[in-house]
C-alpha cells in the first residue's frame, strides 16, 4: 500500500476506483457498440445486480441521488405536498422536496442515533393533517427506527420514503435496509461508499413500479407511447460501467473501512467517560462504515480540533452543519437536538485505501487539540 507523503493534503474522503483495466474493458465494448445511454446493456446489468444485492423487488437506476428522491416523491404522488423530514442531513434531502414544489416540516432527531425521532414525527402528523409523507434519512448509514416509522406511516396513512444515500450495503436484523417503507433511494455519487461517478437509484417493494419509474426518468414516454410528464434522469453506459467495475470490490472496501474505524475507536479511546462519542448504532444493524463522525462536548472544542487538523493540511468535514432549520431559505421552528449536535459533530477522514498511519496522525492531532 502506498504511503501518503507528508505534504499530501488529507481530505475527508478519497473516491475509490476500480482497477483501470477493468473499467477500460467496459469502455472498449461501449466504444465498439456506439451505444452510450438510454436503458442500454450495462445500465440494465447494473440494475439487475444491485436489485439482487440489495434484495429488493424493484430497482431503477438514475442520474444521481437527488433525482432519485425527486422521482420517488413523484412515483408516490407526494410531490408538491407537505413532508416531514429530518434537519440533520445533507441539503439534497430538503432540496428534492422544495424543488418538487413541496414544503418541508422538520421533526427533531434522536440524540443518540441522530436519525429522525418518531415521537417528534408523530407530533407533526397529529398537528397537521396535510402532511402526505415522511422522508427520514439513514444518516451516516445508521438505521432509522424503521418499526416506529412504519407504524406511524400506516396509522396516519402517509407515504414513507427513506433517503438511503449513506446506507449502501447496510442490513438491519439480517434484512437489506432498502426493503423498508414505500420507497428508498440511494446516491452513487463519487464520494459515497459505492459509486458510479454520479448516479442514484430508487428501490421499492413492488415490481410494478418499474414501468412508472422508467417513464419518469425518460421523458414520460417509451417509444411512441407518451404516458406522463417525465424528466431526463437516465444513467449513461459509462457511469453504469464504473459501477459494474467497482461492485466486485465492495465487500473488500467495507472490510478495509471497518478496520480503520476500529483503529480510530481504539486510538481515540471512545469508551464510556470519553469527551468524544460516536452516534449509537441501531441494535441489529450491520453497518457499512461509511463515515467516521465524532461528537465533541461543545463547538469550541470542535473548532480547536478543526484548526489543528487544517494546520496540518487535513480537512475533516462538518457533516452536517448547519442544521437545515437554520438555512436562510427555510422558516422552521427550532429543532434543538439537531441544532446542538450539528454545532459539534465532525466527520474525520476515512476511505478504504487510507493508510493506518493517517488514522494515527489524525487521532493524535485530535487528542492533543482537545487537551489545549
Ligand X SMILES: *Cc1c(COP(=O)(O)O)cnc(C)c1O
| From 75-83, 163-171, 229-237, 261-269, span contacting ligand X (CB under 6 A) | 163-171
Residue 285 makes CB contacts below 8 A (sequence gap 6+) with 142, 143, 170, 171, 172
Cα gap 180→138, rounded to integer Å: 11
Asked if 13 interacts with ligand X (CB under 6 A), we say no
Cβ 73 to ligand X shortest distance, Å: 13
Write the DSSP assignment of 175-219 as a string of letters.
Answer: EEGGGSSSEEEEE--TTSSS--SS-EEEEES-TTHHHHHHHHHBT
**What residue is closest to ligand X based on CB?**
65
What cell does 16 get?
Answer: 475509490
How many CB atoms are located within 10 Å of the residue 14 CB? 16
Quick one: CA torsion of 280, 286, 291, 297, rounded to 10 degrees?
10
Cβ 256 to ligand X shortest distance, Å: 21
| From 146-154, 162-170, 254-262, 330-338, span contacting ligand X (CB under 6 A) | 162-170
Residue 171 makes CB contacts below 8 A (sequence gap 6+) with 177, 285, 286
Asked if 217 interacts with ligand X (CB under 6 A), we say no
Count of residues interacting with ligand X (CB under 6 A): 14
345 phi, psi to nearest 5 deg = -110, 140
Q: Of these, 43, 108, 122, 163, which contacts ligand X (CB under 6 A)?
A: 163
Grouping H, G, I as helix, E, B as strand and the rest as coil, residue 266 is helix
| From 89-97, 215-223, 237-245, 323-331, span contacting ligand X (CB under 6 A) | 89-97
Q: Of these, 200, 279, 293, 316, which contacts ligand X (CB under 6 A)?
A: 200
Asked if 86 interacts with ligand X (CB under 6 A), we say no
Cβ 249 to ligand X shortest distance, Å: 20
Strand partners, 136: none
Cβ 93 to ligand X shortest distance, Å: 5
Asked if 75 interacts with ligand X (CB under 6 A), we say no
Which of 222/281 has CB closer to ligand X?
281
Cβ 185 to ligand X shortest distance, Å: 7
Asked if 161 interacts with ligand X (CB under 6 A), we say no
Which of 137/158 has CB closer to ligand X?
137
Rg of the chain's alpha carbons, rounded to an integer? 21
Give the side-chain half-sphere CA count within 13 A for 21: 0
Element housing 304 (H / E) = helix 299-311
| From 80-88, 109-117, 160-168, 255-263, span contacting ligand X (CB under 6 A) | 160-168
User: How distant, in Å, are the alpha carbons of 62, 228, 303 from that of 216?
Assistant: 10, 8, 44
Asked if 187 interacts with ligand X (CB under 6 A), we say yes
Asked if 178 interacts with ligand X (CB under 6 A), we say no
Q: Of these, 72, 78, 97, 165, which contacts ligand X (CB under 6 A)?
A: 165
Residue 194 makes CB contacts below 8 A (sequence gap 6+) with 168, 169, 188, 243, 246, 247, 250, 253
Binding characters for ligand X, 100-139, by CB under 6 A (x = yes): -------------------------------------x--
| From 59-67, 107-115, 223-231, 359-367, span contacting ligand X (CB under 6 A) | 59-67
How many CB atoms are located within 10 Å of the residue 350 CB? 22
Which residues of this chain interact with ligand X, rule CB under 6 A?
64-66, 89-90, 92-93, 137, 163, 165-166, 187, 189, 200
Amino acid at each position: 500500500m502506498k504511503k501518503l507523503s507528508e505534504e499530501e493534503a488529507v481530505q475527508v474522503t478519497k473516491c475509490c476506483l476500480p482497477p483501470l483495466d477493468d473499467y477500460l474493458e467496459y469502455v472498449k465494448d461501449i466504444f465498439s457498440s456506439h451505444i452510450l445511454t438510454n436503458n442500454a446493456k450495462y445500465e440494465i446489468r447494473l440494475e439487475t445486480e444491485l436489485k439482487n444485492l440489495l434484495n429488493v423487488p424493484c430497482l431503477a437506476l438514475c442520474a444521481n441521488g437527488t433525482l432519485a428522491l425527486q422521482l420517488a416523491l413523484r412515483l408516490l404522488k407526494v410531490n408538491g405536498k407537505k413532508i416531514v423530514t429530518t434537519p440533520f442531513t445533507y441539503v439534497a434531502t430538503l432540496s428534492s422536496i422544495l424543488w418538487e414544489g413541496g414544503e418541508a416540516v422538520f421533526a427533531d432527531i434522536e440524540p443518540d442515533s441522530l436519525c429522525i425521532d418518531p415521537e417528534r414525527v408523530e407530533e407533526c402528523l397529529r398537528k397537521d393533517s396535510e402532511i402526505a409523507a415522511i422522508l427520514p434519512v439513514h444518516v451516516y448509514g445508521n438505521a432509522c427506527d424503521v418499526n416506529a416509522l412504519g407504524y406511524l406511516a400506516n396509522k396516519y396513512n402517509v407515504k414513507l420514503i427513506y433517503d438511503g444515500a449513506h446506507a449502501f450495503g447496510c442490513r438491519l436484523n439480517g434484512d437489506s435496509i432498502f426493503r423498508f417503507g414505500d420507497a428508498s433511494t440511494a446516491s452513487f455519487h463519487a464520494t459515497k461508499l459505492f459509486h458510479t461517478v454520479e448516479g442514484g437509484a430508487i428501490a421499492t417493494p413492488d415490481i410494478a413500479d418499474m414501468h412508472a419509474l422508467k417513464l419518469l426518468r425518460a421523458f414520460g414516454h417509451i417509444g411512441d407511447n407518451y404516458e406522463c410528464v417525465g424528466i431526463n434522469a437516465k444513467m449513461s453506459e459509462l457511469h453504469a460501467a464504473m459501477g459494474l467495475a467497482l461492485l466486485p470490490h465492495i465487500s473488500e472496501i467495507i472490510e478495509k473501512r471497518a478496520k480503520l474505524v476500529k483503529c480510530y475507536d481504539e486510538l481515540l479511546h471512545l469508551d464510556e467517560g470519553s469527551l468524544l462519542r460516536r452516534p449509537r448504532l441501531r441494535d441489529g444493524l450491520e453497518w457499512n462504515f461509511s463515515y467516521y463522525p465524532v461528537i465533541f462536548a461543545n463547538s469550541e472544542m470542535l473548532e480547536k480540533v478543526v484548526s489543528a487538523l487544517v494546520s496540518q493540511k487535513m480537512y475533516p468535514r462538518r457533516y452536517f452543519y448547519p442544521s437545515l432549520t437554520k438555512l436562510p431559505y427555510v422558516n422552521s421552528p427550532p429543532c434543538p437536538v439537531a441544532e446542538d449536535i450539528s454545532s459539534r459533530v465532525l466527520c474525520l477522514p476515512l476511505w478504504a485505501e487510507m493508510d493506518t498511519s493517517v488514522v494515527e496522525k489524525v487521532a493524535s492531532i485530535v487528542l492533543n487539540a482537545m487537551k489545549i
